[in-house]
Chain A
């Protein structure tokens, strides 16, 4: 258990986390529109065989995103 905010991109498959903050204003608006709000729970559902993109379960759906975008999401691992 760590209480440091880390980028979503470093999480492993099956990891659960809470979104702490979103960096990068341009991407963050789009991420929020897709349901990635601070305070939301997420789980890393799958990492593509070549390590990128990743799929996360957020709310009641699966969202695929590239590592470039995942870096902007700071999470706290649970």
Chain B
């Protein structure tokens, strides 16, 4: 059983929790590849997907995971709700919970929103991304994808390339991969690498070629232009020429590496089409694995016995 009541971040999970989630995800991956992809485990559970920020993959993935588990789902997007009339987060959630909802899956632009909510309302909270803080299910599905591709995560070298400063995926990935025994490095322009990140035990590399020669897996992050209020590098073209990955670059390396991307891809900036669609890429496997991992998270959280 999981040691936590909510999934707020990878920081709060221990290694056994992560191992249990990945092991359960294996069986769900098996389920979603059968002719009948549905199981009735959560048939008496209602889950609300609260999205205060745009999302395609994560929202659809959660919704599909909920439906595959036979849960009833409610969808909420902030732009078409009373939030735009000035309602507070707690009021919004408490109103939804009085309609007898058992679980809340929430994405919010503010870091710590999921943690705050878990202290204020009586429901199971799953963090689907809070600001530039954590995105736990993405880290779990990345670890799951590495495990399925390379057999295990322990001892592997993973480099996270790009906009580390604005990335919740980077932070959750660092926690998750380290807890599973992998070595992690971050790589990007110095302006996009948070200060003191080496205190988390990660290597910092500003030269892409050096980073790629070192690693087994490269996780290419998107440049989050929507979060960048100032200029962090002179131009996208310059960024792309220094930190973008194309097939010729990949072939010039002395070994084969696995390429991942959490999506959405800016084709031609951090990664070119011939890499994204190439043989080393497991980007679409990540999306498939995402449904299985989210099913595992929802199943295990809902299955905790009441205290």
| A and B form one complex | no
Binding site for B on A (CB under 8 A): none
